[in-house]
Chains A and B, each alone.
Chain A
């Protein structure tokens, strides 16, 4: 098949290659999957020969040179990891039994004698702090999750409030993947509508993520103002949510866990996406994502039916649900029991899907036509009457709440929907890090206890033209 061999290919090179391959396989055979019959008398990694410790020039030993004592399990006494750069004056010294493999130390001076940086005593293991844990004062507890506890905190440097997410590191499997993802993704995200990660404090026992402090979240906000939010505020919140989502989707990241609890709201009305523990950098489509990612109420029907082909459409369903919840004041699909119940609620409004309305639905793992009552699709405002009070709201909501994932509007496209057409044009020209409230005349309205009357009055023409239901 491959006849690309250039004519100029020197024959000796190939010979060398073959030889190398042999050597490699010899030395590596033991490492591969032969553990069962091998026991301990295998060379796992080439031992640093003790001789090489004396000469400085002879240290380069390829992994495939098998030392004399090849049938003896490698006795690693000590070896070092020394940073090239010496950033801080902290010491990490970890000894495991009498066999220290990793010693890392950053010395304050890069020029000190190398010998001073050698650790020889395996005793007195220390567990020092790496970060600047002391620079934050821990205040009251804000909440507790499955793997982390969140505290309110205060920076001792500038007095600013922060949220400290303290993750315990006693895990069986090392650092929890949620912490790794949240930290690594948020490190790369700088946007006014994404919660800002200030700092990471890493100690032996805990990993603390230091976030900007945002005083409430959309869930609490809606609880405080029941019966639906002010329509102008809904528009501003939705705009910010879409702005944040568009930003992360462009970076191949899905949030995967959109719900009102994860949308933080500042006192000025800034909305910030938070809790990226389940998010992930998405690079390859049709990757097997886990099935359980979104809280049931905000979970799209394709995922409920067992699809694992997740894409940006996954988050957009949640946007639709949150949009309706903000307008109507109640959750869009508050399933009470199980997945079946959740799906029934969705199909009751949007109609039970068929191969015509949703190509491929029959091949989804959990879709069995006889399992679901056949409902016909209804107008959204029949289910949520307040959608009819605001121009274009129903149309936009229906673009999100599409059972067939590919029909859902993208966050980027949604920002240009007519629903937002009465907002100042400068909102579309903002830099990533600029809040929408930097634009003149954009500000949060006071929520009235009874927003229905307010918006009914204001949008009376809209109501009249859209016709009534119920």
Chain B
């Protein structure tokens, strides 16, 4: 039984701040049974599972209408699991073209309201390690259900913001994780995993009623504010920026757009790593996303080495660099603009974030290589 006396003792554990890079995603380690299969088998298995697990689309009608025709269903259930957000190369989104910069500005301004930088400070039972374990697991689960990266980021954000408001017992932590994932998927996905399937992934340790109750509680604690700007948004925005700014025409049109996409994909993997590492909670998502792109660009550059023309590479590099700076700049709030030292702090924060990312990446080379 958990007494409330312990709930109040959150002040005791202030000394958790040691080193940054203790966390590691256990990519591949979590599901040994799946590992034995070939990638193709895995995909197939995942697809099969998905068809069983996803609840049927409620707002169809389209399907019925064309049922008689020989045309295949338009639903993109067959996208490869790791590329849910992939766009056709060479196409900037309408959204970016029409509202890109102002949209970015608004999300930047919103960012601070949704940024739970110290979610664990007042938690009596939960540690950074526990959070890492949970988030790593959530990453696996979101992939299992083929939810978007956006959804994954949002689930982690919801979890953190709830933790910042309410002490959670260690044995309810996993329940919090799945509830947050369920809420995130309801907010941004076209269909959510079924509750019973989420519960079965928790080995049925919790009941449906418990999950539904917690869902309500989260909504109330967060005051129904689930529209948080995420790493996924900023990553996507920056990628669009880079694609739009491809100044140097390359001989092969395909490659021209492939590179930013590849880079953005790798950056997404790096961002995934940061989700699980509590040390990165203090950086706003816009900053982390920018730095991740920078790192990813570096990694790809090293990998491709002489394959690409050096001057182009440098140009691209400096562009990503600018983005990072852009991300580090404060939004146009009057207070921040005047304060010179604030800008300096931001620059330092960006540098620190980049260093930490570099370390995190080096610690997780295996996992990243596996994904690539």
| Residues of chain A having any CB pair with chain B under 8 Å | 1-6, 9, 13-14, 16-18, 20-21, 24-25, 27-35, 38, 40, 42, 44-48, 50, 52-53, 56-57, 59-64, 73-74, 76-85, 92, 94, 96-97, 99, 101-102, 104, 114-115, 117-118, 120, 130, 169, 172-175, 177, 180-181, 183-185, 187-188, 200, 202, 204, 249-252, 278, 280-293, 306-308, 311-313, 338-339, 365-366, 368, 405-406, 410, 412-413
Contacts and interface: CB of A to CB of B under 8 A. Distances in A.
Given A80-B2, A288-B190, 16 more contacts: A4-B298, A17-B24, A33-B140, A40-B203, A40-B204, A64-B130, A78-B2, A94-B209, A174-B211, A177-B187, A181-B186, A250-B102, A281-B187, A284-B85, A285-B240, A291-B63
B23 interface: yes
A81 B4 contact: no
B137 to A, nearest CB: 6
B337 interface: no
A78 B140 CA distance: 28
A31 B61 CA distance: 38
A334 B172 CA distance: 53
Contact of B192 (A80, A115, A177, A366): A177
Contacts of B372: 1
Contacts of B303: 1
B29 interface: yes
Contacts of A25: 26, 29-30
A34 B29 CA distance: 13
26 contacts: A9-B362, A21-B29, A29-B29, A31-B137, A31-B174, A32-B31, A44-B202, A46-B171, A47-B171, A53-B2, A61-B170, A78-B2, A92-B217, A94-B213, A96-B209, A101-B172, A102-B172, A102-B214, A117-B4, A169-B216, A177-B192, A283-B233, A284-B232, A287-B148, A365-B74, A412-B99
B93 interface: yes
Contacts of A79: 1-2, 169, 171-172
Interface string B234-256: 00100010000000000000000
B200 A34 contact: no
A173 B209 CA distance: 10
Contacts of B361: 2, 4
- Interface SS majority for chain B: helix
B202 A187 contact: no
Nearest to A172: B195
A339 B134 CA distance: 45
B166 A48 contact: no
Nearest to B33: A34
A406 B125 CA distance: 52
Interface in B178-229: 182-183, 186-188, 190-192, 194-195, 200-207, 209-217, 219-221, 223-227, 229
Given A1-B299, A53-B6, A183 B71 contact: no
B343 interface: no
B227 A281 contact: yes
B278 to A, nearest CB: 12
A92 to B, nearest CB: 7
A101 B314 CA distance: 56
Interface stretch (B52-60, B319-327, B328-336, B345-353): B52-60
B21 interface: yes
Interface string B148-167: 11100000000000000111
Contacts of B84: 288
Nearest to A28: B30
A251 B110 CA distance: 10
A28 B276 CA distance: 14
Contacts of A173: 55, 192, 194-195
Contact of B24 (A21, A278, A308): A21
B317 to A, nearest CB: 14
A85 B7 CA distance: 12
Given A32-B140, A286-B93, A410 B98 contact: yes
Given A92-B217, A412-B99, A13 B19 contact: yes
Indicate the member of A27, A286, A313 with the most B CB atoms within 10 Å.
Answer: A286
A405 B92 CA distance: 13
B94 A366 contact: no
Interface string B251-290: 0000000000000000000000000000000000000000
Given A24-B136, A81-B168, A285-B95, A96 B207 contact: yes
A290 B54 CA distance: 13
A39 B210 CA distance: 20
A292 B93 contact: no
B134 A63 contact: yes
A220 to B, nearest CB: 25
B186 A177 contact: yes
B133 A63 contact: yes
B174 A44 contact: yes
A305 B44 CA distance: 28
Contacts of A281: 187-188, 227
Contact of B205 (A16, A44, A282, A289): A44
B367 to A, nearest CB: 9
B339 interface: no
Contacts of A4: 295, 298-299, 302, 358, 361-362
B87 interface: yes
B80 interface: no
B233 to A, nearest CB: 4
A202 B75 CA distance: 34
Contacts of A368: 71
B369 to A, nearest CB: 6
B115 interface: no
B337 to A, nearest CB: 21
Contacts of B219: 175, 180, 183, 202
Interface in B350-372: 355, 358-359, 361-363, 365, 368-369, 372
A6 B206 CA distance: 44
B340 interface: no
B307 interface: no
Contacts of B99: 249-250, 252, 312, 410, 412
Given A73-B205, A287-B148, A2 B369 contact: yes
B62 A291 contact: yes
Nearest to B206: A101
Contact of A81 (B5, B30, B166, B205): B166
Nearest to A364: B74
| A-B residue pairs, 5 tightest by C-beta | A79-B169, A285-B93, A114-B4, A25-B29, A311-B94
